[in-house]
Structure 1
């Protein structure tokens, strides 16, 4: 069950990040934040998509690619609602009511505070990308000569 949650929020973060046009690094940071939260907190106590939205919002601030909370909430709510309704990509839903977005905003901001406490305000995330980018060019000539 936990694996399904992880897969679900990773896909959700990726799709939301792409829709919000944030860099891959921001999406990766949000994913790490979500993983860390759920290492310390139970999936049963938190809606994983609300937490993921809050992590994406926080990661945008941490990675200096911020998006307005309303933009994050609107985008993630649409993705979440579409998936809940039918799971189909092509469904165009009407925009949510203002009250619904305000309630969603409140949940995301509460989740953000929980994430901040869980992370102990430590936002350092070491991603493997920089190591991969330096290692792959070094390995590529060896791979070519081996073939």
Structure 2
């Protein structure tokens, strides 16, 4: 898209852009997307190709924020996970330049609370958000609570539209416990897999794969990093390969296991924490 000045883009009826818009609208009803589709959407809305590291840092910052506020409110992991999925899904279809991530992340927690029926008073949510963003702030006034309520309710509908009002958001954590037990893996593997899975929300994995596949990939990565992957390939009562017990295709596990999880410090974009391309079908 060309621009006549630095602030106002020129409105155009270019067939290519119209085609992109139609494709974008038709894709909104999908549950999962390919890597190429995600890259296309992020480029379309956020110019990801030129601001890639910046957008990764933004995503990581606000996924951490959702986790911190969610824990402060005493939300279970399922509610926090749902909010993080909603955040990633929202910014697949909208630009961080148009919608402030700080407002959207709070609204995602507000919506996730309803999804998971883990209700909190709105004033408590606003207070938790304020205390994380501004640690020395006082208790929010009634006026601030009302202002935030209007914002959250307004953004909530856009968030629901981004998932086509499908309220069935599942988390992978229950599968980590279930699969590790079924495969007779050690507790330390499940704990490491849990942490890796948590970091995965700083990527777009939740937009590409179902929760049980993310859980399987997290278990495999954990077993690899801990040097405890023998249990994956030992014989089991069902006589099935470990990835079938995890209800996943080996190709999807290998693909999701190679995803990046990013570490962000106060100085901004820093480094890759996990980047690894295993062959999950190999025997040790």
> What TM-score, normalized to structure 1?
0.82
1:94-113 counterparts in 2 under 5 A? 94-113=138-157
1:1-147 counterparts in 2 under 5 A? 1-82=54-135, 92-137=136-181, 138-140=183-185, 143=231
Higher relative contact order (CA 8 A, sep 6+): 1
Give secondary structure in 2 for the equivalent of 1:115.
helix
User: Equivalents in 1 of 2:73, 2:166: separation in Å?
Assistant: 24
Question: For the aligned residues, what is the CA RMSD?
Answer: 2.0
Q: Deviations over 1:23-62 (max 9, x none)?
A: 0110001000111001111111111121111111111111
Larger radius of gyration: 2
Q: Deviations over 1:74-103 (max 9, x none)?
A: 211221233xxxxxxxxx322233323322
* Stretches (4+) displaced over 6 A: none
Higher percent of residues as strand: 2
User: Equivalents in 1 of 2:138, 2:130: separation in Å?
Assistant: 12
How many residues are matched?
136
User: Equivalents in 2 of 1:114, 1:81: separation in Å?
Assistant: 26
User: Equivalents in 1 of 2:172, 2:138: separation in Å?
Assistant: 40
User: Equivalents in 1 of 2:157, 2:74: separation in Å?
Assistant: 24
User: Equivalents in 2 of 1:8, 1:109: separation in Å?
Assistant: 23
How far 1:139 moved relative to its partner? 4.0
User: Equivalents in 1 of 2:57, 2:153: separation in Å?
Assistant: 25
User: Equivalents in 2 of 1:112, 1:69: separation in Å?
Assistant: 14
